[in-house]
A and B are shown apart, each in its own frame.
Chain A
Amino acid sequence: MVVALILLLVAIGSVLFHLYSPWWWTPIATNWAYIDHTINITFWITGFVFVAVIAFMAYCVFRFHHKEGRRADYNPENKRLEWWLSVGTGVGVAAMLAPGLVVWHQFVTVPADATEVEVMGQQWQWSFRLPGKDGRLGTSDVRNIGSDNPMGLNRDDPHAQDDVVIENGDLHLQVGKPVKVLLRSVDVLHDFYVPEFRAKMDMVPGAVTYFWIKPIRTGTFDVLCAELCGAAHYQMRAKVIVDDEREYHAWLEQQKTFAELSAGKAVVKATYQSGGN
Chain B
Amino acid sequence: MVDIPYEGIAGIPPAEVPDVELYHPRSWWTRYVFSQDAKVIAVQYALTASAIGLVALVLSWLMRLQLGFPGTFSFIDANQYLQFITMHGMIMVIYLLTALFLGGFGNYLIPLMVGARDMVFPYVNMLSYWVYLLAVLVLASTFFVPGGPTGAGWTLYPPQAILSGTPGQDWGIILMMSSLILFIIGFTMGGLNYVVTVLQARTRGMTLMRLPLTVWGIFTATVMALLAFPALFVASVMLLLDRLLGTSFFMPSLVEMGTLSKYGGGSPLLFQHLFWFFGHPEVYIVALPAFGIVSDLISTHARKNIFGYRMMVWAIVAIGALSFIVWAHHMYVSGMFPQFGYFFATTTLIIAIPTAIKVYNWVLTLWRGDIHLRVPMLFALGFIITFVNGGLTGLFLGNVVVDVPLSDTMFVVAHFHMVMGVAPIMVVLGAIYHWYPKVTGRMLNDVLGKFHFWVTFLGAYLIFFPMHYLGLLGVPRRYFELGDAAFIPPSAHSLNAFISIVALTVGFSQMVFLFNLTWSLFKGEAAGGNPWRATTLEWQTPETPPGHGNWGKELPVVYRWAYDYSVPGAAEDFIPQNQPPRATRLVQGAAS
Residues of A within 8 A of B (CB): 3, 6-7, 10-11, 14, 17-18, 21-26, 32, 34-35, 38-39, 42, 45-46, 49-50, 53-54, 56-57, 60-61, 64-66, 70-78, 81-82, 85-86, 89-90, 93, 96-97, 100-101, 103-104, 107-108, 122-124, 141-143, 145, 183, 186-189, 191, 193, 195-196, 198-207, 209, 220-222, 224-235, 237
9 A–B pairs (Cβ distance < 8 Å), ordered by A: A3-B378, A21-B469, A46-B392, A60-B366, A60-B367, A89-B353, A101-B401, A202-B335, A224-B485
Pick out which of these stretches binds chain A: B26-34, B170-178, B470-478.
B470-478
User: How far, in angstroms, from A273 to B113 measured CA to CA in the complex?
Assistant: 80
Question: Smallest Cβ distance from A71 to chain B, in angstroms?
Answer: 5
Are B159 and A66 interface neighbours, CB within 8 A? no
Nearest B residue to A195 via CB reads B474
Residues of B within 8 A of A (CB): 1-2, 4-5, 78-79, 82, 151-153, 157, 159-160, 163, 165-167, 252-257, 260, 266-269, 302-305, 307-311, 333-335, 338-339, 341-342, 345-346, 349-350, 352-353, 356-357, 359-361, 363-364, 366-373, 378, 381, 384-385, 388-389, 392-393, 395-396, 399-402, 404-409, 458, 461, 465-466, 469-470, 472-474, 476, 478-483, 485-487, 489, 491-492, 495, 563, 565-568, 573
Q: Which chain A positions have C-beta within 8 A of B491?
A: 22-23
What's the minimum C-beta distance from B378 to chain A, rounded to whole angstroms? 7
Q: How far is the CA of A25 from the CA of B396 in the complex (A)?
A: 14
Chain A residues in 8 Å Cβ range of B333: 191, 200-202, 226
Given A39-B402, A122-B255, A230-B165; A50-B342 close (CB under 8 Å): no
Set A85, A100, A222: member contacting B357, Cβ < 8 A: A85
Residue in B2, B78, B334, B395 whose beta carbon sits within 8 Å of that of A76 in the complex = B2
Across-interface contacts of A90 in B (CB, < 8 A): 353
* Cβ A103 vs Cβ B252 within 8 A: no
Check B405 against A72 for contact (C-beta < 8 Å): no
Report the nearest B residue to A81, measured CB to CB.
Answer: B364
Please name all residues of chain B whose beta carbon is closer than 8 Å to the beta carbon of A205 when the two chains form the complex. 159, 252-254, 268
| CB-based contact A93/B335 at 8 Å | no
Q: Which of A22, A25, A86, A203 contacts B335 (CB 8 A)?
A: A203
Contact present for A76 and B307 (CB under 8 Å): yes
- In the complex, chain B residues whose CB is within 8 Å of the CB of A234: 78, 478-483
The reply to whether B405 and A38 form a contact with Cβ atoms under 8 Å apart is no
Residue numbers in B under 8 Å from A14 (CB-CB):
389, 465
Contact across chains for B489 and A22 when beta carbons are under 8 A apart: yes
Complexed CA–CA distance, A34 and B388 (Å):
26
| A42, closest chain B residue (CB) | B396
Cβ-closest chain A residue relative to B400 = A104
Closest chain A CB from B258 CB (angstroms): 8
Cβ contacts under 8 Å, A188 to chain B: 159-160, 163, 165-166, 254
**Cβ contacts under 8 Å, A75 to chain B:** 1, 304-305, 307, 368
Kindly list chain B residues whose C-beta atoms are within 8 Å of the C-beta of A64.
Answer: 302, 366-371
Question: What B residues does A65 contact at CB under 8 A?
Answer: 371-373
Residue contact A42 to B399, C-beta cutoff 8 Å: yes
With contact pairs A23-B473, A26-B487, A85-B356 given, residues A72 and B254 touching in the complex (Cβ less than 8 Å): no
B78 to chain A, nearest CB (A): 6
The CA of A188 and the CA of B480, in the complex, are separated in Å by: 19
Q: Which of A60, A70, A189 contacts B363 (CB 8 A)?
A: A60
In the docked arrangement, what's the CA distance between A86 and B151, Å? 43
A61-B373, A77-B307 provided; 5 other pairs, C-beta below 8 A?
A: A77-B4, A101-B400, A142-B260, A188-B159, A209-B335
Number of A-B contacts (CB under 8 A): 330
Given the known interface contacts A204-B334, A206-B253, A234-B479, the answer about A54 and B474 at a Cβ–Cβ threshold of 8 Å is no
CB distance from B411 to the nearest CB of A (A): 10
User: Which one, B303, B310, B469, contacts A23 given CB within 8 A?
Assistant: B469
Q: Which residues of B contact A22 (CB under 8 A)?
A: 489, 491
* Docked-complex contact A226 and B565, CB < 8 angstroms: no
Closest to B256 in A: A187
Compute how far the CA of A235 lies from the CA of B81 in the bound complex, rounded to whole angstroms. Answer: 14
Known A-B contacts A26-B474, A193-B476, A200-B408; A96 and B163 likewise in contact (beta carbons under 8 Å): no
Assess whether A93 is in contact with B395, with CB atoms less than 8 Å apart: yes
Residues of B close to A207: CB separation below 8 A: 252, 269, 335
A229 and B395 form a contact (CB under 8 A): no
Provide the bound-state CA to CA distance between A78 and B492, in Å: 47
A200 in complex: contacting residue of B302, B357, B405, CB < 8 Å: B405
CA distance A50 to B352 in the complex (A): 14
B150: shortest Cβ distance to chain A, in Å?
11
- Supposing A35-B402, A61-B371 touch, asked if A23 and B349 sit within 8 A by C-beta, the answer is no
- Of all A-B residue pairs in the complex, the 6 with the closest CB atoms, nearest first, are A206-B252, A195-B474, A230-B165, A209-B335, A188-B160, A60-B366
Most chain B beta-carbon neighbours within 10 Å: one of A7, A203, A234: A234
**How distant is B261 from chain A, measured CB to nearest CB, in Å?**
8
With contacts A66-B371, A189-B157 taken as known, whether A222 is within 8 angstroms of B163 at the C-beta atoms is: no
Are A97 and B345 neighbours in the complex by a CB distance under 8 Å? yes
> Which residue from chain B places its CB closest to the CB of A1 in the assembled complex?
B373
Instruction: Give the CA-CA distance A24 to B466 in the complex, in Å.
Output: 11
Residue of A whose beta carbon sits closest to that of B474: A195
- Whether the Cβ atoms of B408 and A226 lie closer than 8 Å is yes
A237 contacts which chain B residues (CB < 8 A)?
Answer: 483, 485
Chain B residues with CB under 8 Å of A193's CB are 408, 476
Q: B268–A77 contact, CB under 8 A?
A: no
**A9 to B, closest residue via Cβ:** B458
